[in-house]
A and B are shown apart, each in its own frame.
Chain A
Amino acid sequence: MSKRFNRIPERSPVARRRGRSRRAVAPLTAVSVLVAGAALTGCGEQRDGDVYTVMNSSTDETYHRWDAEAMARCGTRLGVTIEQQSVPAAQVMTKALRMASSKSLPDIVQFDASEMPTFAEAGGLVDLKTLGLSTRDIPQGIVNFGSYKGTYYGAARSVNTLALFYNKDILDQAGVKVPTTWDELRKAAKKLTGGKRYGLALSAGGAEDGVFQFTPFMWSNGGDETRLDGPQVAGALDYWKALLADGSLSKSTVSWTQADVNDQFMAGNAAMMINGPWQVETLNTKKSLHWGIAKIPVPRAGAPSVGPLGGAVLTVPNTGDKAREKRAGEIVACLASQKEQLTYALNSWMVPANAKAAAVWRTRVPELDALADQVAAARSRTAKLGAGWPSVSLALQSAFQSALTGQSSEAALKRAQQRATSGN
Chain B
Amino acid sequence: MTTSIVTAQAPGKASRTAATPDPARLRRRRRLAQWGFVAPAVVFMLLFFGYPLVRNVVMSFQHFTPKTFFTGDAPFNGADNWSHVFQDPLFGKALWHTLVFTAGSLLGQFCIGLALAVFFSRRFPLNGVLRSLILLPWLVPMVVSGIVWRRILDQDTGVLNSFLDTLGLGGHTPWLTSPGMALLSVILVNIWIGIPFNMVILYGGLQEIPKELYEAASLDGAPAWRTFRSITLPMLKPVITVVLVLGFMSTVKILDLILALTDGGPADATQTLGTLTYQNSFVRLDFGAGAVVGNVLILVSAVFAVFYLRANRTEGK
Contact = CB atoms under 8 A, between A and B. Distances in A.
Interface of A: 1-2, 4-8, 10-11, 15-16, 18-19, 21-22, 25-26, 28-29, 32-33, 36, 90, 93-94, 97-98, 100-101, 118-119, 121-124, 196, 205-207, 250-255, 264, 267, 269, 318, 387, 390-391, 394, 397-398, 401-402, 404-407, 419, 422-424
Contact of B11 (A19, A119, A254, A423): A19
Given A18-B8, A205-B263, A25 B37 contact: yes
A19 B283 CA distance: 57
Contacts of A5: 4, 7-9
Given A2-B8, A94-B282, A121-B67, A32 B43 contact: yes
A21 B36 CA distance: 11
A8 B157 CA distance: 82
B40 A29 contact: yes
Contacts of A404: 266
Contacts of A405: 177-179, 266-267
Interface residues of B, number: 64
B43 A101 contact: no
Interface stretch (B112-120, B133-141, B148-156, B297-305): B148-156
B32 A25 contact: yes
A15 B15 CA distance: 13
Contacts, number: 177
A205 B84 contact: no
B284 A394 contact: yes
A424 B156 contact: no
B90 A98 contact: no
A402 B264 CA distance: 12
Interface of B is mostly: helix
A25 B4 contact: no
Interface string B204-235: 00000000000000000000000000000000
A97 B6 CA distance: 50
A394 B283 CA distance: 9
B267 A402 contact: yes
B263 A29 contact: no
B136 to A, nearest CB: 25
A267 B151 CA distance: 14
A196 B162 CA distance: 12
Contact of B263 (A7, A207, A267): A207
Most-contacted residue by chain A among B48, B176, B179 (CB, 10 A):
B179
Interface stretch (B68-76, B96-104, B246-254): B68-76
B262 to A, nearest CB: 7
B5 interface: yes
Given A1-B4, A205-B263, A398-B267, A252 B14 contact: no
21 contacts: A2-B8, A6-B7, A10-B12, A15-B14, A19-B8, A19-B9, A22-B10, A22-B29, A28-B40, A29-B39, A29-B40, A36-B48, A122-B69, A123-B70, A206-B265, A252-B176, A254-B267, A255-B154, A255-B266, A269-B156, A394-B284
